[in-house]
Copies of this chain bind each other. A is one copy, B any other.
Amino acid sequence: MPKAYTQIHHLALRAFTTNVFKSLGVPDDEAALAADVLAYSDEHGIDSHGIARLKTYFDLLKAGRINPRPNLKVLREKHAVSTIDGDNGLGLVVGPKCMDIAIEKTHKHGSGSIAVCNTNHYGAAGYYPLMAVKEDFIGLSMTNTTKGVAPFNGKEKMLGTNPIALAFPSLNEPEVVIDFASSTVAYGKVEIAHREGEIIPLGWCLDKNGLPTNRPEEMIDGGALLPLGSTKEGSGHKGYCLAGAVDILSAVLSGANWGPFATPFAINSAMPEIQVGKGIGHFFNAWDIEGFRDLTDFKKSMDHWIVTMRNTVAMEGGTKVLVPGDPERKSYSIRMEDGIPVHQIILDQLKTISQSCNVPLP
């Protein structure tokens, strides 16, 4: 472990996060829920979406830009589907509550689809389909995010890194959990390279002139990320299609701010000049496997699927073939033992928060 990191016990980190949210006026149960969503990331090695984001939630709550006590409102409903207004609450609270509604609908109708507007950043997308898996359902979640990605052939930031996540239950093997940004890489990877003074691969981003660059600072200074596939030869139009689909399902369908109008997730970023909806948007879906197939048969097939994929002969110089969710499970088992590695920069942020809201550091 490099010196820049301090190991913190996962329960201590959860308690700190919960208390910070409580100190900002978030009700006790919702503070614990929001902390659970962030802890999911830290405990599973998704360092970009956990405690590293607490400062931003803190700033936005403190500045009154996020509502600590939202009242969710059903805007429209038709049996299996509905749109919920998140009342400008924390995405970390609005998200799980809306996935719960999707699950409730799935128990009743065989599936449930919830579009959400007037919400904020909801943490790691993978948290939500796992809620469905606990009910033996298939789960899907997606969200639009602040602009950072150029459409295929474009040089301007017009779409977010718009992630998509799906999870499928299994029997004796662990569940399959898919969770990825529709850009080639998340912005966090460019930031890390910048911090470490490293060059990045061509295909990750453009500079402010719309030219491919391998220098992180040239992307940060007015450039844009590229959609999954990156180039014409790599089929970058496919990543653009994915990002577009996530944007439409999450934000156009719910009446949120879509595309370049998405609300920024940063205290210092200017709000877009035009508002085309309310907040950002999420989309959740769950399906009851029993409505399609005997649950045990499905789970046995999933076990077979997982074992089959893992047994694929590796490519030359490649590591073992994994199934989606394996890397996060590996991090989880290490971090439950060793604690969560928190970078010094983040630790300094936690100190500031601790002093500001009088919650002792973990």
A201 within 8 A of B: yes
A93 within 8 A of B: no
* A210 proximity list for chain B (CB < 8 A): 313-316, 318
Given the contacts A79-B291, A150-B312, A293-B253, A258 and B301 also touching, CB distance less than 8 Å: yes
* A316 proximity list for chain B (CB < 8 A): 155, 209-211
A360 within 8 A of B: no
Contact B228 A235 (CB under 8 A): yes
* Interface 0/1 of A237-272, CB less than 8 Å to B: 111111011011100111100111000000000000
Given the contacts A166-B245, A201-B233, A210-B313, A154 and B318 also touching, CB distance less than 8 Å: yes
* A209 proximity list for chain B (CB < 8 A): 316
Stretch at the interface among A33-41, A59-67, A320-328: A320-328
A residues with a Cβ closer than 8 A to B are 75-83, 108-111, 113, 115, 138, 150-156, 158, 166, 168, 176, 178, 180, 184-185, 201, 203-204, 206, 209-211, 228-230, 233-235, 237-242, 244-245, 247-249, 252-255, 258-260, 276-277, 287-293, 297-298, 301-302, 304-305, 308-309, 312-316, 318-324
Contact B254 A276 (CB under 8 A): no
Contact A156 B109 (CB under 8 A): no
Contact A82 B315 (CB under 8 A): no
10 interchain residue pairs of minimum CB distance: A78-B291, A78-B110, A154-B312, A81-B110, A210-B315, A81-B291, A153-B318, A155-B315, A201-B233, A178-B241
Other-chain residue from B82, B83, B201, B314 in contact with A154 (beta carbon distance below 8 A): B314
- Taken together, the copies of this chain in the complex come to 2
Q: Could you pull out 8 A-B pairs where Cβ atoms are within 8 angstroms? A: A78-B290, A115-B293, A155-B318, A178-B244, A184-B229, A184-B235, A254-B292, A255-B297
Question: Which chain B residue has the least Cβ–Cβ distance from A153?
Answer: B318
Nearest CB in chain B: distance from A297 CB, A: 7
Residue from the set A240, A287, A289 with the largest chain B CB neighbour count within 10 Å: A287
Nearest CB in chain B: distance from A355 CB, A: 39
* A309 proximity list for chain B (CB < 8 A): 151, 158, 244, 259
* A166 proximity list for chain B (CB < 8 A): 245
Given the contacts A241-B324, A259-B305, A292 and B76 also touching, CB distance less than 8 Å: yes
* A248 proximity list for chain B (CB < 8 A): 168, 176, 302, 305
Bound CA–CA A241/B168 (angstroms): 12
Residue from the set A209, A234, A297 with the largest chain B CB neighbour count within 10 Å: A234
